Amino acid sequence: MPIRTDRDFQLISGVAEARENFTNCNRVEKWNGYYCNNENLAMLTFESMDDDKTKRILSPIEIIALNTTSRNVLNTFMDHCWDEFYTCLIRLSRFPTLIEGGKNIFYQIIYSSTPPKK
């Protein structure tokens, strides 16, 4: 029997800065993480659609909430292919992050390089 039977939930990192302002999250020591039952949490995923999207590094990218202290630093995914024993150095510029939505919550996305045009 499962201990939790909630229909909608999120499991998030045990890093305090990653969940500092998310509501309805409870720490689970065994997981080194948090169990959240919060319908305002959502996965935001964005990516470059420019021609150089697999060659140009855009990271790190910071996602900062403007009216809370929530902050997340995103890095690039690992290589998408291998040439025998070597990586092909092709990385897709796609970035997922967890955010809490709701009325009057605003985020700023800060690129460490030139943002993509598409």
Kindly report, residue by residue over 64-106, the tens digit of the pLDDT: 888 877 788 888 877 666 677 777 777 788 888 888 888 888 8
pLDDT one-digit tens code per residue, 3-61? 767 777 888 888 777 666 788 888 888 889 888 888 888 888 998 898 988 888 888 99
The token duo for 100 is: 């809490």
Cα 44 from Cα 4, distance rounded (Å): 25
Q: Exposed e or buried b for every residue in 87-101, given b needs 16+ CB within 10 A? A: eeeebebebebbbbe
Please report, for the chain, the start and end positions of each structural domain, with discontinuous segments joined by +: 10-111
